[in-house]
């Protein structure tokens, strides 16, 4: 059964800034990897089609498929886990989230749907999430 991760995109102001940062990283290293201190205990479920859902300014706004988990070392030599990500960022239905540290599991049934049309991106994500929470959208 698939499980996802949710993570704050620290330093990102919008989906565009996350895309720009990742494009730069991809050009420099040839792959996208988010390094985290701990390897997820539910690794098999994550590798069974899981994604990382990015939260920007309190709104879950996009996802990226996790294609592998790699053993890496931090700059200080301590072991870490690298979440190897697909280069494709997929916009999702904006969903308000509480702020937290690190990453958290996200069950598949709780994950927001992908956006499919240009009209879905016509308003700021925080506004869309608020309207959705009020039942207006």
What is the span of the domain harbouring residue 85?
A: 3-133
Which pTM value belongs to this model?
A: 0.84
Q: Which residue has the tokens 């040839």?
A: 30
Res 119: pLDDT: 41
pLDDT digits (tens, 9 = 90+) for 88-126: 999 998 999 988 888 999 999 999 999 876 544 566 777
> CA dist 89 to 9, 57, 79, 113, 134, Å?
13, 17, 27, 13, 27
Range picked from 45-49, 98-102, 125-129 for highest mean pLDDT:
45-49
Domains: count for the chain = 1
Q: How many helices (H) and strands (E) does the chain have?
A: 3, 7
With cut-offs at 50, 70 and 90, classify the pLDDT of residue 130.
confident
Distance CA 34, CA 26 (A): 12
- The residues, any chain, with a CB within 8 Å of residue 72's CB and separated by 6 or more, are 33, 35, 79, 80, 81, 82
Res 117: pLDDT: 62
């Amino acid at each position: 059964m698939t499980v996802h991760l949710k993570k704050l995109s620290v330093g990102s102001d919008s989906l565009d800034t996350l895309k720009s940062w990742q494009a730069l990283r991809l050009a420099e290293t040839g792959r996208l990897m988010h390094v985290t201190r701990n390897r997820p205990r539910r690794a098999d479920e994550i590798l069974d089609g899981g994604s990382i859902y990015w939260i920007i300014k309190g709104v879950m706004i996009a996802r990226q498929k996790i294609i592998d988990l790699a053993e890496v070392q931090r700059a200080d030599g301590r072991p870490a886990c690298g979440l190897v990500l697909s280069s494709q960022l997929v916009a999702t239905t904006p969903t308000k989230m509480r702020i937290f540290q690190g990453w958290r599991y996200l069950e598949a049934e709780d994950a927001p749907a992908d956006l499919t049309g240009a009209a879905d991106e016509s308003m700021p994500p925080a506004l869309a999430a608020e309207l959705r929470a009020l039942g207006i959208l």
